């Protein structure tokens, strides 16, 4: 049979990194084909090659049995490829219609093509249930609606292959279900859907076939009906996965950290957090679960003093912080709070600084940088060497720039720095995002050790498995509100899933 899309021997490297190596892939017409792999496995690069955003160093790409040279996205679009990017490619200041028209305006002036574009848009939105107001400004749409615009854009030229890159990361389970319904209609209409994800459940739920990527290579192709999540997980990480973390029950002591009626409204007046209440005791981990973008980032940042609270009180080891107090990360840190930020590249590290300078980020005023007025680089070097040894950072070279460490080792630098300050309270965001499996286990073990040493830990993660295996209690955020807090022992996926969609804990159980 002829495949809608076929890749043979495709390779691509950036500098010295092999992002894709000898990739083979075949997608049948009218099917949903999943591509699964960990963060950094090379999925997005591969899709960008198919869509012409990057050029492959070698290998061939064929559409409907015809080998083609995709030099640009224009070529890809011409060959019937549509793509919905992970980060939406929409112009917020444009209307939906203008966004859809971009690239296929139908004439030198806009008036010529406007009517046909509107017609096409309406047609697509009725056929595939992609409801959206053509004249609304994109900046006024919510995430789900924006995604629909992206799909219409991808389909407008009559795409035969539709690529979706991590489309559910920003959706609630319901919105994701809606999306999957749309994809099924598309499949039945003869479109080949290529779904990129790192979530096993999605693959099992919706795809017909699946390909597995690991470290830039394609390590297997399966029929979804003939595989299991365990099988896929093993292929993804390259060995038996240890989803279970060995841990002892927590022995919570006094309340060290609490929030009452916490709220945050951003500068545009959007309420991002509302009425959040929780307490964390010494020696326990409170996990925060939720679909990404439901207030987790704002929660972490208000607690860390990076954003001002709008309402409520935070109590840190007996000191109260309210919206009336001028807070800052400095003040919170000095109260004894450690903070491992969600995104180590934008917050946790200065990528161009040496490891030893990163090891004093946030502590450059302390003894760690030397006891005198000026920096003492021998002290800074010593401090870094000690911590690198203790936390097994490799390579253990304090003079190496942070950007030259692997994701896992970068994260270990951040963890080493924050743990060593002996925090009474620790805020941890996405501790294992983009981290290799070996480092994940190490980091999990360190977190549990710190808990057992009596630290009160608040852990935010969009990986439900991580929250479930580490936390003692789980708080679920939806739309900036606390849906409920349940004991980790009583929590299962379906309960948490419903809570993540906004159902209260009582109703969910």
Partner 1 sequence: MLDFLYQTLLAFDATLRIATPLMLCAMAGIFSERSGIVDISLEGKLLSGAFVAATVAALTGSAWLGLGCAILAGITMSLIHGFACITHKGDQVVSGVAINILASGLTIVLGIALFKRGGQTPSLPKEDRFTPIEWWGVEMMDSVPVLGSIYRQLISGHNMLVYVALLCVPLTAFILYKTRFGLRLRAVGEVPQAVDSAGISVTWLRYRALILGGALCGIAGAYLSIAQGGNFVKEMSAGKGYIALAAVIFGNWKPFTAFFACLMFGFLDAVTARLEGYELFLIGEIPSQLMQAIPYILTVLLLAGFIGKPRPPAAIGQPYHK
Partner 2 sequence: MSKPTPPLPRWADIVLLPLINLLAALVLCGLVIFAIGENPFAALKVMINGAFVYQGALGYTLFYTTSFIFTGLAVAIAFHARLFNIGAEGQASLGGLGATLVAFAMAPIPGIIALPLAIGSAALFGAAWGIVPGYLQAKRGSHIVITTIMFNFIAAALLVWLLAGMMLEPGQFSPQSSLLPEQTWLPKIHEMLGWIGLKTTATPLNASFLIALCACLFFWVLVWRSRLGYEIRTVGQNQEAAHYSGINVARVIIITMAISGAFAGLMAINQIQGVSHKLILGFTAGYGFTGIAVALMGRNHPVGIFLAALLFGALVQGGTELDFEFTVITREMVLLIQGMIILFSGALAYMFNPPLARLLARIFGTKEDANA
* 73 sits near partner 1 (criterion: CB under 8 A): yes
Q: 82, 161 in Cβ contact below 8 A?
A: yes
Pick from 16, 108, 324, 374: which binds partner 1 (CB under 8 A)?
108
Residues 353-372 that bind partner 1 (CB under 8 A): none
Q: For 355-366, b where at least 16 C-beta lie within 10 A, e where not — what string?
A: bbbbbbbbbeee
First and final C-alpha spacing in the chain = 48
Among residue numbers 35 through 64, which ones bind partner 1 (CB under 8 A)? 51-54
Q: Minimum CB separation from partner 2 for residue 303, in Å?
A: 13
299-338 footprint of partner 2 as x/- string (CB under 8 A): -----x-x---------------------xxx--x-----
Which of partner 2, partner 1, none binds 398 (CB below 5-8 Å, type-dependent)? none
Residues in Cβ contact with 85 at an 8 Å cutoff, skipping those fewer than 6 apart? 150, 165
Q: If we measure between CA atoms, which residue out of 218, 188, 307 comes closest to residue 7?
A: 218
Indicate whether 400 belongs to the interface with partner 2 (CB under 8 A): yes
Beta-bridge mates of residue 344: none
Window contacting partner 2 (CB under 8 A); options: 36-44, 396-404, 435-443, 450-458 = 396-404
Site for partner 1 in 122-181 (CB under 8 A): 153
- Of 160, 214, 347, 473, the one binding partner 2 (CB under 8 A) is 347
Q: Give the residue, chosen from 13, 93, 246, 266, that forms a contact with partner 2 under the rule CB under 8 A.
A: 13
d(CA 317, CA 313): 13
Decide if residue 103 touches partner 1 (CB under 8 A).
yes
Least gap, CB of 137 to partner 1 (angstroms)? 12
Task: For the sheet with 473-478, list strands across it.
Answer: 319-322, 311-316, 255-265, 271-281, 481-487, 473-478, 284-289, 456-460, 425-429, 337-340
Binds 101, which of partner 2, partner 1, none (CB < 5 to 8 A, cut-off by type)?
partner 1
Q: Which is nearer to partner 2, 137 or 306 (CB)?
A: 306
What are the DSSP calls for 233-262, one per residue?
HHHHHTS----PPP-PPP---SEEEEEEEE
85 phi, psi to nearest 5 deg: -80, 155
Among 33, 339, 356, 473, indicate the residue that binds partner 2 (CB under 8 A): 339
Please state the closest distance from residue 350 (CB atom) to partner 2, in A.
Answer: 5
**Helix, strand, or coil here: 178?**
helix
- Work out the number of other CB atoms within 10 angstroms of the CB of residue 1: 7
- Residue 93, interface with partner 1 (CB under 8 A)? yes
C-alpha to C-alpha distances, 450 to 74, 258, 394, 457, nearest whole angstrom? 53, 19, 22, 9
CB contact at 8 A, 94 and 102: yes
With CB under 8 A as the contact rule, the residue among 109, 142, 248, 346 that binds partner 2 is 346
Q: Which spans of this chain sit near partner 2 (rule: CB under 8 A)?
A: 13-16, 54, 304, 306, 328-330, 333, 339, 341, 346-353, 357, 360-362, 364-365, 369, 373-375, 400-401, 404
């Amino acid at each position: 049979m002829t495949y809608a899309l076929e890749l043979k021997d495709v390779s691509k490297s950036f500098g010295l990194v092999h992002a894709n190596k000898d990739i083979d892939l075949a997608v049948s017409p009218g099917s949903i084909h999943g591509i699964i792999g960990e963060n950094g496995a090379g999925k997005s690069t591969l899709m960008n090659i198919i869509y012409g955003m990057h050029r492959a160093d070698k290998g061939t790409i064929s559409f409907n049995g015809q080998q083609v040279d995709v030099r640009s996205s224009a070529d890809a679009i011409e060959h019937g490829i549509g793509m919905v990017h992970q980060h939406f490619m929409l112009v917020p200041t444009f209307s939906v219609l203008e966004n859809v028209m971009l690239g296929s305006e139908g004439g030198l002036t806009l008036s010529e093509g406007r009517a046909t574009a509107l017609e096409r848009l309406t047609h697509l939105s009725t056929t595939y249930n992609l409801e959206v107001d053509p004249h609304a400004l994109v900046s006024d749409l919510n995430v789900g609606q924006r995604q629909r615009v992206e799909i219409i854009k991808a389909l407008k030229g009559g795409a035969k292959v539709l690529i979706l890159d991590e489309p559910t990361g920003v959706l609630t389970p319901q919105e994701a279900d809606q999306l999957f319904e749309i994809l099924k209609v598309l499949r039945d209409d003869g479109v080949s859907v290529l779904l990129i994800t790192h979530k096993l459940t999605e693959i099992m739920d919706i795809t017909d076939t699946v390909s597995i990527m690991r470290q830039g290579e394609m390590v297997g192709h399966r029929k979804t009906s003939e595989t299991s999540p365990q099988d896929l997980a093993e292929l993804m990480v390259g060995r038996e996965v240890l989803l279970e973390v060995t841990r002892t029950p927590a022995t919570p002591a006094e309340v060290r950290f609490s929030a009452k009626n916490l709220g945050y409204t951003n500068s545009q007046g959007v309420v991002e957090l509302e009425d959040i209440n929780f307490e964390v005791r010494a020696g326990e981990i409170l996990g925060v679960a939720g679909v990404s973008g439901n207030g987790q980032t704002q929660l972490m940042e208000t607690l860390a003093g990076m954003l001002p609270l709008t309402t409520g009180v935070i109590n840190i080891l007996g000191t109260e912080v309210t919206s009336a107090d001028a807070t800052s990360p400095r003040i919170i840190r000095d109260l004894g709070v450690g903070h491992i930020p969600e995104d180590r590249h934008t917050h946790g590290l200065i990528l161009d600084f040496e490891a030893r300078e990163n090891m004093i980020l946030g502590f450059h005023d302390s003894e760690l940088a030397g006891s005198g007025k000026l920096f003492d680089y021998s002290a800074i070097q010593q401090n870094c060497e000690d911590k690198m040894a203790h936390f097994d950072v490799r390579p253990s070279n304090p003079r190496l720039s942070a950007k030259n460490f692997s994701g896992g080792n970068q994260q270990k630098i951040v963890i080493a720095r924050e743990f060593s300050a002996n925090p009474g309270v620790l805020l941890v965001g996405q501790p294992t995002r983009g981290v290799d499996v070996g480092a994940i286990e190490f980091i999990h073990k360190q977190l549990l050790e710190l808990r057992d040493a009596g630290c009160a830990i608040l852990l935010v993660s969009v990986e439900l498995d991580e929250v479930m295996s580490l936390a003692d209690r789980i708080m679920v955020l939806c739309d900036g509100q606390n849906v409920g807090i349940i004991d980790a022992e009583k929590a299962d996926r379906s309960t948490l899933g419903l809570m993540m969609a906004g159902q209260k804990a009582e109703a969910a159980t």
